[in-house]
Amino acid sequence: MTAVPPIDAQTAARNQRQAILLAIFTMFCFTIMDACVKGLAPRVGVVPALWARYSGQMLVVFLLVLPRLGQTVRTSLPVLQITRSVLLLCGTGFFFFGVSMIPLTDATALMAVSPVIVTLGAALFLGEALGLRRIMGIAVAMCGAAIIIRPGSGVFSLGSVLPLIAACCYSAYILVTRKVGHRESVWTSLFYTGLVGTVILTAVVPFFWQTPDLIAIGLMGMIALFGTAGQLSLIRAYSLGEASMLAPYTYTGLVFAAFWGFTIFGEVPDKMTALGALVIASAGIYVWHREMNSK
């Protein structure tokens, strides 16, 4: 077997920058998808929205990899691929149900516990280092999330439990994705996440199906598009950078969610929510600045 040459410092720094930008773009895509789900759920229900997300991704990926389909479907890690796909399906499903019940910003804020779980899990199971700057970034970002959530407020309703469960599933998915890393093609990983979700949901969706109108069809298309784009960028981000280093940047999803919630659904974040979002964004920028200057 040919040895893989070590990555030089310049290449490592470039990979880290790319990973950070991809992580932010991932949150941008996913929050647009979540906003579409919130708009679609009252029209056709949550399960058809889930089915649109996965079947749409499967269709797009299938068309893109068709010229090399045989190579794409081959995997040396079938158990890990199926495990990560089921974890993502569970995380997406719990979150979709949650976001249909509570404000978009609140659901996203509850989901923000995921990076802490990822960072701790990466240290425990992947052997990644937890430097002081990373610990500080996570701690400050979590303080911002706590400001938004405000224990004892209406966010902690029955609907808020679902995003918390989704956060646990999603964190496990991220860790398994990191474990797969460079050993599998990004397209192979994307193919299996779409395939597993589509097979399971296609068997379930007939029991929940409601005929969509033109607006619902458009929303389904957007869910498929942005869900696929976000999934691809996420896989690439965690293949280029360490999970614990990227964790703070997932908090940018709070800012995006607050924006979509306000512009689309008229959900006006209060002063505490705005303060929490600012704290989270500042923590992410600080960690990025320190990481880049330490190279």
Task: Domain ranges for the chain, please list them.
Answer: 16-64+77-293
Q: What is the pLDDT of residue 99?
A: 92
What distance in Å separates the CA atoms of residue 97 and residue 39, rounded to the nearest whole number?
A: 12
Give the residue carrying structure tokens 């919130």.
38
Q: What is the pLDDT of residue 293?
A: 60
Residue type, position 164, single letter: L
Q: What is the pLDDT of residue 216?
A: 94
Q: What is the pLDDT of residue 178?
A: 81
Closest by alpha carbon to 197, among 52, 70, 34, 74? Answer: 52
Closest by alpha carbon to 237, among 276, 199, 181? Answer: 181
Closest by alpha carbon to 179, among 143, 125, 233, 132? Answer: 125
Q: What is the pLDDT of residue 26?
A: 92
pLDDT in tens, the chain (295 residues): 444 455 667 777 788 888 889 999 999 999 999 999 999 999 999 999 999 999 988 988 898 889 999 999 999 889 999 999 999 999 999 999 999 988 898 888 778 777 777 777 777 777 776 677 777 777 887 787 777 666 655 555 667 778 888 988 988 998 888 888 778 887 888 899 889 999 999 999 999 999 999 999 999 999 989 988 887 888 788 788 876 677 778 778 888 998 999 999 998 877 776 787 777 777 766 666 665 565 5
Residue type, position 266, single letter: G
> Which pair of tokens denotes residue 139?
């701690």
| CB of 250 closer than 8 Å to CB of 23 | yes
| CB of 149 closer than 8 Å to CB of 284 | no
pTM: 0.80
Q: What is the pLDDT of residue 1?
A: 40
Q: What is the pLDDT of residue 192?
A: 92
What distance in Å separates the CA atoms of residue 68 and residue 152, rounded to the nearest whole number?
A: 53
Q: What is the pLDDT of residue 284?
A: 65
Radius of gyration of the chain (CA): 19
- Alpha helix (H) ranges present in the chain? 9-44, 46-65, 69-73, 78-99, 104-111, 114-121, 132-149, 158-180, 186-204, 214-240, 243-246, 252-265, 271-293
What distance in Å separates the CA atoms of residue 16 and residue 25, rounded to the nearest whole number?
A: 14
Q: What is the pLDDT of residue 3?
A: 47
What distance in Å separates the CA atoms of residue 161 and residue 168, rounded to the nearest whole number?
A: 11
Residue type, position 198, single letter: T
Q: What is the pLDDT of residue 263?
A: 93
User: Which DSSP category does 126 fall into?
Assistant: I
Q: What is the pLDDT of residue 157?
A: 65
* Residues making up the chain, counted from first to last: 295
Distances (CA, A) of 49 to 31, 36, 213, 274: 15, 9, 13, 29
